Structure 1
Amino acid sequence: MISGTVVPTHFSCRPCHFPVNTPSWEEALRVGFSRARASPSSSSFSPFRLIKRSHRHHLRKSDTSSAVIARVSGDGGGAPNASQKQSESPDIEEENSTSSSSADGYVALFVRMLGLDQDPLDREQAVVALWKYSLGGKKYIDSIMQFHGCINLIVNLLKSKSGSTCEAAAGLLRSISSVNIYREKVADAGAIEEITALLARPSLPSEVKEQSLCTLWNLSVDEKFRLQIASPDVLPIIIDLLDDEDLKVKEAAGGVMSTLALSQSNHNTMVELGAILKLAAVLRTNEEGWKVIRKEARNALLELAKNDYYRILIIEEGLMPVPMVGSAAYKSFKPSLHSWPSLPDGTEIEQTFKEPSRFGASELLLGLNISENDANIEEAKMNALIGRTQQQFLARIGAIELDDEKKTQLEASSKTGLTLLPCTDGVARLVLILGLDDEGAVSRAAEAIADSSINEFMRVSFKEAGAVKILVQLLERDNDAIRSSVTRALERLSLSVSVCQAVEAEGVIYHLVKILKEKEIPESLTEKTLNILARILNPSKEMKLKFYRGPVNKSNRGSEAGGETYYSNRKEVFDSSVISRLVEIMKSSNLNLRRKAASILEFATTIDSCMDMIISADIESGLTAVFQQTNLDADTESDADLEEPEKYALEVEEMGLTVSAASRLLTKLLDSASFCQRLNFTHLTTLLRKTLRSSIPVTCKDWVAACLVKLISLSGTTKGLEEDLISTEVTLYETIPRLIQQLESSTSEEAREGAVVELNRIVSKGVAGSTRAIASQGGIFHLVKLLGEGPSERASQAALAVLYSLSMDAENHEAIVAAGAVPILRRIVLAERPEWTRALRLLRNLPV
């Protein structure tokens, strides 16, 4: 049976007609064929001439062969109707069946004429006849395939220099590969390799390209051949043919790409070779007659969009995956019949007439012509207005997803339930779906908004389209799926500073705190909620509040008034239950939740009324839980950590960020006398010292060191030796690593000079273990590198002094020499630079 997913074999040419088969004709052709083989130089006899003479004789005898022609051609011919059947005599019906069987008798002859020892013209005529004969369907293809080895002969003809021969051979392979049971034989005969070589030829006729690509399309239906077709040798040719001038070639190339995309293993190769760029360009084109190629391009891109990274690339090309929710869902859309469009910032547009259209045609026309006006508006606002008017107009007349819904019912490839729209229409469509009654559709739209918020432009586009206000209102729904998807969308949108301000202006803090108070919620929802709150209640934004300007409206609210309003709203959401919930989260095992909770509590410390609630909630237990989990000493790495270094490095970084946030919170709390009265200084000091000595990133140790120093200064119980010991630990584990990192990564000469001078000061003070700490952190290499770059005299003298101190330990000699210090020191001495005496003393210490 012919597969329903293969390429239809429609051709404009008509097949060859075959004469009535009789034993005498068979014997004559067999004898003639034998004579032609015996006398290859003789051209007086040709089986094809005999067939043509028989053909003309048969045409004079009867016109009933038209049924055979229609059945074999496959180009629209069909069986005669009932009246015709009744008018035919039994003799004619018998002759029709005999004519069909006569064609089968000549298949063997044509197959033999494909032989390599035959005349090229005869081989061409044979393959053309077989190609047209195969268009009749599976029964005719079976007649050809009963001859073993015919596939190899057909594939060999793809090497021909004749365009018509190549076209017929590729067309015959296309017909054969449309049958499931023969597809493997076609591939095993080397058809993919020969078609690749054929398509690589310059100036190849479009007909040959079309038939060759359609053969690959049929073969790609079988998954085991997709990887072979998607190889770096074949796939670039197919992708380039998407730009071909012939539409049928484009359609065939798009069909191959669509089928190859069904295998996820091909996605990486397709993307690396630029398939997304070409397919997106095809889909964005609005040329007439491109319906098939756009459909194949859409199917291919939808398969690629299942990968998060590839979806981002598709969106960057101006296309957006949008869920298909069904035309019935849009029936709940209830727009204002006499509404007038306005810009998202509240600016009203002057009306030119008083009676808008019932279906919103006035909005549509205004949206389509807004770009031609002299209105000075941003691109995102313009796109929002155009997209909204277009989508609302389609919803009002009930024209959304009618065609797509039919395709979904008929095509298995549409089970994803997604379509691709230009970003302008996609943003407006998603915002439109958010306002529907279908909760499933709303949830899918919110997820799509989260997935599409990949950059600042997209986030601002959703804000200008009105998504923020609707999303915040949806948080009131008593539906876990909607709240989870909406929270995720708001989390992604709030990455933009301007959108984050708009989210806060809509009163989202109240809804998020309400969710946070619910203990029986998924951890993922808690994490997203904390992420949004931490961005809004960022302690670093505290000084910016007084300069914040609220949304532009008629009230002309000043920046100071706006800042006070938002600050007041923030204070109102904090109560004892919220504080207790945040402290409880700090005791959990999720590092990200701990870090966000500590950041929000740090903001709460700026509110006087919250300090007593924080202390009463036993915040010390939360801080202790964070510091106790810091067991990341470099000397105690387990075998599992060494086997998964990337995972271990990520864990160390997350732990460092969490500890840094907790240290900042503790530093702010130490300003409260009531907190200090309840604090166990000894226990926290021990935990912070252990944290300082851990392997967390140096950038995360600055707050730990500052908190430790402040903790010691306020304890009042430690004197003398212990205080000096803590100061030394801060120097060894925070100051020296930070200065060496500054030497390594800073591009400023002043910053590097300050770092090396500070290192020299630490060494000259005789801090115990300072030289060993510098050597263990890789400081020798960076000091020598600084000398080689010809720094200032001050920096050069400081670097030589530190290296000289390091050279007093023989264990460092090998590292100093390996870093290339000797030739640099010799140049300094020979040049008699001001610091040459220091360089000479250092040279004398080294074993050279």
Structure 2
Amino acid sequence: MIFKTSRRRRIENPHSLNLKLCSARPLVTRVGSSSDSGGTFDDATPQKVSDGSSDFETSSSPISGDGYVGLFIRMLGLDNDPLDREQAVDALWKYSLGGKQCIDAIMKSRGSVFLTVNLLNSESCVACEAAAGLLRMISSVNIYRDLVAESGAIQEISSLLRRSSLSSEVKEQSLCLLSNLSVDEKLRLQIANSDLLPLLIKFLDDEDMRVTEAAGGVLANLALSLTNHKILVEAGVIPPLAKFLRTDFEGSKIIRKEAQSTLLELAKDDYYKILLIEEGMVVVPLVGAAAYKSFRPSLHSWPSLPDGSELNVKQNLKGPSRYGASELLLGLHVEDDKNTKLEEAKKNAIVGRTQQQFLARIGAIETEDESNKTGSPTSDQRFTILPWVDGVARLVLILELEDESAIAKAAESIADSSISEHMRTSFKEAGAVKNLVRLIDHHSESVRLAAIRALERLSVRSLKDSDAFGNSTYMILNILARILDPSKEMKSKFYDGPVNGSKKGWNEARTSTPNLTSSLQTFQEGDLSDPTFLSRLVEILTSSSPVLQTKAATILEFLTASEACREKIISLDIESALDSLFRQKFFNEAGLAVSAASRLLTRLLDSDQFRKVVNSSRLTDSLRNILTSRIPLQNKDWVAACLVKLGSLWGPANLGSENPINTEVMLYETIPRLVEQMKDSYSPEAQEVAVLELNRVISEGVVDSSRVVAGEGGIFPLVKLIEEGNDKVVEAGLAILYNLSMDPENHPAIIAAGVVPTLRRIVLSERPQSVRALHLLRTLPT
């Protein structure tokens, strides 16, 4: 990175300075290095930094005015007039621009560094700028860098930069001095642990781009030390740097490169990479420009969606473009076309894809400069950072190349970037899923594993080849189950009564059917209805671990939305498989599998074909045993739902005249759930709903309902809600307690919960609930 050092101010008294010192030499440049050692800054052409040393090759021409160096160094003395000191340091700064030979002449008097550092305290901006500039030049030579730091330059620069008003020139020179010092590992740690870090981040928003660039250079050097990463991230360096890499940023290329360098170092940590992605950036592997030569997109002039369907937009161009420029322009046109009804994600996918394909066609991706900017050329893992629209499109494009290493790296990056619904949707719309599914059959194991991992993270919506099962069964089932999970939608249909307090309850919900057809349309139904594929899933229900059983049941439940799949599932004797699962032991470990299988059975009961062949009595007995077992309460919800549906379909005639199913559902699922909601919910509204619903259940006279409330520990949270709740909660809570008080065995617990003082306060307040509270007091032995 190159910074030009130039003077923007003339010396006020040239006769006192002998301008021969300012010889006609080229300006000094600052060159940033990505390594921790070696030459870091050089004099301008024809001088250069030698590899691994601080030596400079300088012009052999004599420097006019060398004899005045000692004079000006003496003028830096603390006993001299401030104006003389200012003019002396200014002259020495100009002289130092001559290169290392001039700097060596100044450094013959080692005290000059201490005197120059002292001038950083000056109230004169001219003196401060010149002092910082001179120290910057001295610190550009490796052998003098430690002396500058030991002279207190870091502390003085820290104080200087905290001043309320500083000129841009002072800021620039001071920050460039810090950048030179931060080349040293130990000095990086000192700078990062000082008060300078918040100032550096603040200067990223400076009005003068030269100051911003200089601050970015310091941060880029600090990020080279792994121990500084946590400090940088906690200071909040990622958001302000990420903004320089966004597509809407118009400014210096230097600060973009500095920001990219810093963020790439931070992205080596997986957690910090997540923070980077949250700022709209994607880490993309550099696979080499040669890899893109295998890219062969179809040459058509009309942009399409990732599924290949054409866009319904007005077409003005005719014929394909050799490099895809027409598609690029049309893709950009789609983004601005108000008449095109497309989701934002689809538009971004089109724009990103057309831009990256255009760059690939003209050979502009990963030019030599881009490939070399990310660190050591010997590194096997090189990356760049792109805004998410371009990054997503670039990764998907790499999946279409022939280079196996490049494909595997892109798939891994897709997996790492899929941390949010936004990113997963972006990859899906960009066409990542279809490419990753294709790569599951790739001959390279590294590509197959990377593709499977990416699909797992993306919650892939299709997996077509039944041969993919085998050693990868768990991973592939996990891929399918993560996305083919209709449980949330099912729950909203079957389970809203008890949760929201409505009186619809289970019975009125029994005919509700979730609409999963729209999700199923994203699959090729013929492949998923393959008998071998379905038979394997049914087999897993009876012979695998509870984890795999849960995933298989979830996938099968989703597939029942397709009539073709449902008929084949029923023909595979799914009833026997479900009954086998329901009758297995160790329900505590198999709770999730039982819940998923109950959802599947509930779904199948919507089918007339299944109802004609199912043995409802056998399944009912199995589910009732599960409901009354000690499996976790959260796993009983779908067991209860399925039981209610079975009872509603076959009626009391087949299940007994009293139809005890509803009672068992209330005692073993509804009441325990409501008590748990009263105890554990942080929402007063949810607690109110639970109390009102519980009062309704008990008032209906369900046998043993009061006993279950007490047994589930409902008395103490009930008393607490009476103390803190509104009138409706108090009224319902007192009614429940009154019913509980009818059993003398509950009296000790009610009194121990502290209800007596609460009841007395209610009675004395003459609230509407006073009468009920008085009756309850008279019932209790107080």
Give TM-score scaled by structure 1 length: 0.69
1:412–1:585 Cα change, 3 Å? farther
1:434–1:567 Cα change, 3 Å? closer
State the alpha-carbon separation in 1 of the partners of residues 258 and 27 from structure 2.
Answer: 32
Matched, 1:361 2:320: no
Deviation at residue 325 of structure 1 after TM alignment: 1.5
Deviation at residue 227 of structure 1 after TM alignment: 4.8
Deviation at residue 280 of structure 1 after TM alignment: 2.5
Query: 1:510: which partner in 2?
Result: 464
Query: 1:597: which partner in 2?
Result: 552
User: Does the CA contact (< 8 Å) of 1:327 and 1:405 recur in 2?
Assistant: no
1:810–1:464 Cα change, 3 Å? closer
| Aligned residue type for 1:215 | L
1:226–1:806 Cα change, 3 Å? farther
Matched, 1:785 2:724: yes
Deviations 1:407-455 (A, max 9, x none): 2587569875222223333333223222211122222223333344455
1:448–1:161 Cα change, 3 Å? same
1:423–1:527 Cα change, 3 Å? same
| Aligned residue type for 2:310 | G
1:49–1:298 Cα change, 3 Å? closer
1:112–1:412 Cα change, 3 Å? farther
User: Does the CA contact (< 8 Å) of 1:299 and 1:413 recur in 2?
Assistant: no
Equivalent of 1:548, from 512, 518, 533? 518
Deviation at residue 251 of structure 1 after TM alignment: 0.9
Query: 1:425: which partner in 2?
Result: 390
| Aligned residue type for 1:702 | D
1:803–1:202 Cα change, 3 Å? farther
Equivalent of 1:827, from 762, 777, 781? 762
Q: What does residue range 749-760 of structure 1 map to in structure 2 within 5 Å? A: 749=688, 751-758=690-697
State the alpha-carbon separation in 2 of the partners of residues 484 and 71 from structure 1.
Answer: 48
State the alpha-carbon separation in 2 of the partners of residues 804 and 179 from structure 1.
Answer: 92
Structure 1: where are the runs of 5+ without partners?
1-6, 18-47, 81-91, 495-499, 552-561, 632-654, 715-722
State the alpha-carbon separation in 1 of the partners of residues 554 and 765 from structure 2.
Answer: 57
1:276–1:610 Cα change, 3 Å? same
Matched, 1:388 2:346: no
Query: 1:528: which partner in 2?
Result: 479
Question: How many residues of Structure 1 are paired with residues of Structure 2 in the alignment?
Answer: 720
Give TM-score scaled by structure 2 length: 0.74
| Structure that is richer in helix per residue | 1
State the alpha-carbon separation in 2 of the partners of residues 544 and 733 from structure 1.
Answer: 23
SS of equivalent to 1:168: helix
User: Does the CA contact (< 8 Å) of 1:230 and 1:269 recur in 2?
Assistant: yes
State the alpha-carbon separation in 1 of the partners of residues 532 and 414 from structure 2.
Answer: 27
Deviations 1:569-617 (A, max 9, x none): 4364544444334544426xxx4x4532342355678946545756799
Deviation at residue 134 of structure 1 after TM alignment: 4.5
Query: 2:223: which partner in 1?
Result: 261
Q: What does residue range 613-632 of structure 1 map to in structure 2 within 5 Å? A: 613=572, 628=586, 630=588
| Aligned residue type for 1:599 | T
Equivalent of 1:12, from 6, 13, 27? 6
State the alpha-carbon separation in 2 of the partners of residues 773 and 677 from structure 1.
Answer: 30
Query: 1:735: which partner in 2?
Result: 671
1:451–1:172 Cα change, 3 Å? same
User: Does the CA contact (< 8 Å) of 2:486 and 2:557 recur in 1?
Assistant: no
Aligned Cα root-mean-square deviation (Å)? 5.3
Query: 1:290: which partner in 2?
Result: 252
User: Does the CA contact (< 8 Å) of 1:67 and 1:79 recur in 2?
Assistant: no
State the alpha-carbon separation in 2 of the partners of residues 678 and 794 from structure 1.
Answer: 39
SS of equivalent to 1:377: coil
1:624–1:229 Cα change, 3 Å? farther
| Aligned residue type for 1:474 | L
Deviation at residue 362 of structure 1 after TM alignment: 2.5
Structure 2: where are the runs of 5+ without partners?
31-40, 49-58, 494-511, 651-658
Matched, 1:773 2:737: no
State the alpha-carbon separation in 1 of the partners of residues 337 and 694 from structure 2.
Answer: 58
1:210–1:550 Cα change, 3 Å? same
| Aligned residue type for 1:76 | A
State the alpha-carbon separation in 2 of the partners of residues 809 and 602 from structure 1.
Answer: 48
1:583–1:270 Cα change, 3 Å? farther
Query: Which has the larger Rg?
Result: 1
Matched, 1:797 2:735: yes
1:186–1:367 Cα change, 3 Å? same
1:78–1:728 Cα change, 3 Å? closer
Equivalent of 1:400, from 365, 378, 384? 365
Query: 1:469: which partner in 2?
Result: 434
Query: 2:177: which partner in 1?
Result: 215
Deviation at residue 314 of structure 1 after TM alignment: 3.7
SS of equivalent to 1:747: helix
Query: 1:194: which partner in 2?
Result: 156
Query: 1:157: which partner in 2?
Result: 119
State the alpha-carbon separation in 1 of the partners of residues 519 and 476 from structure 2.
Answer: 30
User: Does the CA contact (< 8 Å) of 1:157 and 1:166 recur in 2?
Assistant: yes
Q: What does residue range 121-136 of structure 1 map to in structure 2 within 5 Å? A: 121-135=83-97
Deviation at residue 309 of structure 1 after TM alignment: 5.1
Deviations 1:171-226 (A, max 9, x none): 23323433445545544544333222211223311111111111222333344444
Deviation at residue 316 of structure 1 after TM alignment: 4.7
State the alpha-carbon separation in 1 of the partners of residues 544 and 78 from structure 2.
Answer: 80
Query: 1:88: which partner in 2?
Result: none
Equivalent of 2:44, from 76, 86, 94? 76
Equivalent of 1:118, from 74, 80, 100? 80
State the alpha-carbon separation in 2 of the partners of residues 622 and 113 from structure 1.
Answer: 94
1:467–1:822 Cα change, 3 Å? same
SS of equivalent to 1:321: strand
